């Protein structure tokens, strides 16, 4: 009996390392498949027209030039697009988080009509009017070509509010009660006691909201199409379209004369747009991961 | 505490509302937000039964009954879009849904903590880029002169414009979607795995179970509930076949297989002479089916886990 057990263990251990190798190979391939397109894009952004066409699949740098970046910057608008996106993301996150946390805290307390208001919020997760009435509303409100439109319409999510509400419910209520006896009202209790206790959760949701604003492109494309108002994503889309048109209409004459490498400039634009997220993501990853795990606990 | 609840129960409604006045104040901005950005656009329900006139607005426009809805079912392009939506969603359910689960099981087998962290950081990263960025990176990668074609050519294959080939487009959707999202989705399963009682593994090891058997009978069984709930949630969202991705990746050449309800609504709305009533009707048709699917999903989820999907 004992002997067979030992035998089994040795046998399984051998199978472990074999299976483990297969798993590690699969994961390494997945890793490579994700890294390569980004890497290739970065390489191309530093390559000249000649080298770029000769080695479009470059994984090692063939030559090094900043011409593409110079060309992109010479087209103008990148700085302004950055400014717009940063403005939208910063103000939007502050606005969205303020509304959401206040609502979440209120929902964690007891008051007449709570069930009704909660259902009213949850219903929006099940049903929406769609793109058309939303667009007409924006038009009616006169928010076309107005940066604040994107800020105002985003930043709030029923799902996040429910998770934050649960988190407020799980904080000891005695702290708030003590302050209430000392004469503090709900607004003071919220801002001075309950909100600071939720700092880690706030960090997580602020990040999600900020990334959401950073990546917003759909409504921005429809609403902010005036030059100078474009956020990064819209700028990226329009610059790529311009380059595509240049290459098809003016064919080689324009590109060779200006020594422009269209793919290189496109990849410059891509790199410039994702650079900030790329730089901060590895350091903030644990906050992001926390966000999704808090949500899954609920489920 | 006890006296507190007793006291509130004895108070009149008006008194209780007055007591909670600051809570209502905290609630107010959020309520205004939901009314403006969620409830006012629900007038699209009315719009769908009207012939929209910009001068008269949604409420003043003329009623046309079911005309807009009837038109959906006699417009070939609309029918095609509905068909494509269902086909793409169903295939996504089959080929995209299992991938994060397998990935989670695999990542769970990594021994070194550092390796695990590095791999996870890379796997989850693409989720945080928008499809605008991702589609550009991938279109470079997949273009006629891109990396994939260069590799294929070196093996003696012909160059193909992968993105503009009808038969490649949908498989490409599923692959690129997995490429971007599977790593992120696997985190939910990994979180569920960490809550499995380690004693179960010890017991299984004593009984001589192999790693594979442990993964199958303990890990996979342990996250069964999470899998079922996420599956239900995915079914509830079936009418969304992935607008962001398809809108950014589609091109004229592949429209017959790529046009979904959302891209169709976009196309007919933001053109020279839009019929907002009809656009709204297509949108409401989609939202209506979505609502039914979500309610059904919620009902099933409640049956299984005791709580609904959204609290």
Instruction: Say if the Cβ atoms of B31 and A217 lie within 8 Å.
Output: no
* Residue pLDDT tens, chain A, 299 long: 344 444 444 444 444 578 889 999 999 999 999 999 999 999 989 988 888 777 777 788 778 888 889 889 888 889 999 999 999 999 999 999 999 999 999 999 999 999 999 999 999 988 888 899 999 999 999 999 999 999 999 999 998 899 899 889 888 888 888 888 888 899 999 999 999 988 888 888 999 999 999 999 999 999 998 888 999 999 999 998 888 888 776 654 444 445 678 888 899 999 999 999 989 888 888 887 776 666 555 43
Closest C-alpha among B75, B83, B72 to residue B48: B72
The pLDDT score that the predictor gives to residue A7 is 41
Which range has the worst mean pLDDT, A26-40, B262-276, B296-310?
A: B296-310
Shortest Cα–Cα distance, B259 to chain A (Å): 16
The pLDDT score that the predictor gives to residue A295 is 57
The pLDDT score that the predictor gives to residue A106 is 96
Rounded to whole angstroms, the Cα distance separating B277 from B286 reads 14
Which chain B residues have a beta carbon less than 8 Å from that of A40? 140-141, 147
Rounded to whole angstroms, the Cα distance separating B208 from A167 reads 42
Substitution target in A133, A153, A291 with the highest count of B β-carbons within 10 Å is: A133
A32 in contact with B, Cβ within 8 Å? no
The pLDDT score that the predictor gives to residue B212 is 86
Q: Which residues of B210-220 are buried (b: 16+ CB within 10 A; e: fewer)?
A: bbeebbeebbb
Tens-place pLDDT, residues B7-25 = 555 678 888 889 899 999 9
Tens-place pLDDT, residues B115-171 = 999 999 999 999 999 999 999 998 888 887 777 888 888 888 888 888 888 888 999
Burial grade of A64 (CB within 10 A; 0-12, 13-18, 19 or more)? exposed
B311 in contact with A, Cβ within 8 Å? yes
User: 10 Å Cβ neighbour count for A261?
Assistant: 24
The pLDDT score that the predictor gives to residue B310 is 58
Residues A129, B45 contacting (CB under 8 angstroms): yes
B106 in contact with A, Cβ within 8 Å? yes
- Looking at chain B from residue 140 to 199, which residues have their Cβ under 8 Å from any Cβ of chain A? 140-141, 143, 145-147, 150-151, 179, 183-184, 187-188, 191-192
Radius of gyration of chain A (CA): 26
Q: What are phi and psi of B64, to 5 degrees?
A: -130, 15
The pLDDT score that the predictor gives to residue B159 is 80
- Mean per-residue pLDDT for B90-97? 94
- ipTM of the complex, rounded to two decimals: 0.87
The pLDDT score that the predictor gives to residue A92 is 97
Domains of chain B by start residue, with CATH: 2-43 (no CATH), 75-305 (1.10.3720.10)
B51: part of which helix (H) or strand (E)?
strand B50-51
The pLDDT score that the predictor gives to residue B300 is 84
Q: Where do the structural domains in chain A lie, given as residue ranges?
A: 2-75+250-298, 78-223
Substitution target in B140, B192, B304 with the highest count of A β-carbons within 10 Å is: B140
Q: Which residues have a Cβ under 8 Å from the Cβ of A156 and sit 6 or more positions away?
A: A96, A99, A100, B30, B33, B34, B37
Average pLDDT in chain B = 88
The pLDDT score that the predictor gives to residue B105 is 94
CATH 3.30.70.360 at A78-223, yes or no: no
Q: What percent of chain B has pLDDT over 70?
A: 95
- Looking at chain B from residue 17 to 36, which residues have their Cβ under 8 Å from any Cβ of chain A? 17, 19-20, 22-27, 29-31, 33-34, 36
With bands split at pLDDT 50, 70 and 90, how would you rate the model's confidence at B60?
confident
Give all strands (DSSP E) within B169-251, no chain letters. Answer: none
DSSP conformational letter for B237? T
Closest C-alpha among B283, B95, B62, B72 to residue A133: B283
Choose between B304 and B18: higher pLDDT: B18
The pLDDT score that the predictor gives to residue A2 is 40
The pLDDT score that the predictor gives to residue B86 is 94
Q: What percent of chain B has pLDDT over 90?
A: 50
Q: Which candidate from B109, B125, B146 shows the least CB-CB separation from A20?
A: B109
Which chain B residues have a beta carbon less than 8 Å from that of A216? 130
């Amino acid at each position: 009996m004992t002997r067979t057990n030992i035998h089994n263990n040795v046998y399984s251990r051998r199978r472990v390392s074999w299976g483990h190798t297969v798993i590690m190979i699969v994961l390494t391939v997945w890793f490579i498949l994700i890294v390569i397109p980004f890497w290739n894009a970065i390489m191309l952004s530093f390559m000249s027209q000649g080298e770029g066409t000769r080695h479009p699949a470059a994984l090692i740098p063939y030559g090094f030039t900043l011409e593409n970046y110079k060309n992109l910057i010479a087209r103008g608008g990148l700085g302004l697009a950055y400014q717009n996106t940063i403005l939208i993301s910063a103000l939007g996150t502050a606005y969205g988080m303020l509304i959401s946390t206040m609502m979440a805290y209120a929902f964690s307390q007891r008051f007449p009509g709570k069930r009704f208001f909660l259902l009213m919020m949850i219903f929006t997760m099940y049903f929406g009017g769609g793109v058309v009435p939303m667009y007409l509303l924006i038009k009616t409100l006169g928010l076309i070509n107005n940066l604040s439109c994107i800020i105002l319409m985003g930043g709030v999510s029923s799902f996040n509010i429910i998770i934050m509400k649960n988190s407020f419910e799980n904080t000891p209520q005695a702290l708030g009660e003590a302050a209430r006896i000392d004469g503090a009202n709900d607004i003071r209790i919220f801002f001075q006691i309950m909100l600071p206790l939720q700092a880690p959760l706030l960090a997580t949701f602020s990040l999600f909201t900020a990334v959401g604003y950073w990546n917003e492109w759909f409504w921005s494309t429809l609403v902010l199409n005036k030059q100078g108002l474009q956020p990064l994503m819209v700028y990226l889309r329009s610059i790529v379209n311009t380059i595509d048109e240049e290459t098809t209409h003016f064919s080689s004459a324009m590109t060779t004369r200006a020594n422009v490498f269209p793919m290189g400039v496109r990849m410059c634009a891509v790199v410039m747009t994702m650079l900030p997220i790329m730089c901060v993501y590895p350091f903030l990853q644990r906050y992001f991961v926390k966000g999704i795990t808090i949500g899954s606990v609920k489920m | 505490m006890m006296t507190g609840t007793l006291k509130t129960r004895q108070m009149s409604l008006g008194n209780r509302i007055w007591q909670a006045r600051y809570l209502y104040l905290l609630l107010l901005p959020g309520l205004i937000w939901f009314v403006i950005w969620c409830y006012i656009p629900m007038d699209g329900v009315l719009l769908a039964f009207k012939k929209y006139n910009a001068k008269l607005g949604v409420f003043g426009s003329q009623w046309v009954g079911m005309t807009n809805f009837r038109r959906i079912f006699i417009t070939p392009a609309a029918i095609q879009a509905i068909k494509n939506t269902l086909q793409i969603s169903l295939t996504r359910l089959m080929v995209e849904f299992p991938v994060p689960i397998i990935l989670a099981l695999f990542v769970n087998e990594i021994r070194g903590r550092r390796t695990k962290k590095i791999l996870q950081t890379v796997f989850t990263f693409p989720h945080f880029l928008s499809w605008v960025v991702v589609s550009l990176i991938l279109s470079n990668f997949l273009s006629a002169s891109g990396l994939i074609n260069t590799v294929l050519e070196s093996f003696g294959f012909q160059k193909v414009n992968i993105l503009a080939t009808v038969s490649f487009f949908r498989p490409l959707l599923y692959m690129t979607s997995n490429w971007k999202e599977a790593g992120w989705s696997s985190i939910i399963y990994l979180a569920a795995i960490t809550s499995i009682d380690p004693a179960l593994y010890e017991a299984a090891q004593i009984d001589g179970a192999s790693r594979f058997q442990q993964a199958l009978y303990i890990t996979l069984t342990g996250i069964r509930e999470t899998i079922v709930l996420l599956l239900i949630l995915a079914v509830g969202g079936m009418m969304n076949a992935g607008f962001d991705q398809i809108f950014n990746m589609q091109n004229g050449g592949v429209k017959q297989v790529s046009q979904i309800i959302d891209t169709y609504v976009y196309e007919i709305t933001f053109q020279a002479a839009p019929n907002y009533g009809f656009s709204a009707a297509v949108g409401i048709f989609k939202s209506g089916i979505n609502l039914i699917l979500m309610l059904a999903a919620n009902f099933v989820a409640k049956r299984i886990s005791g709580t609904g999907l959204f609290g």
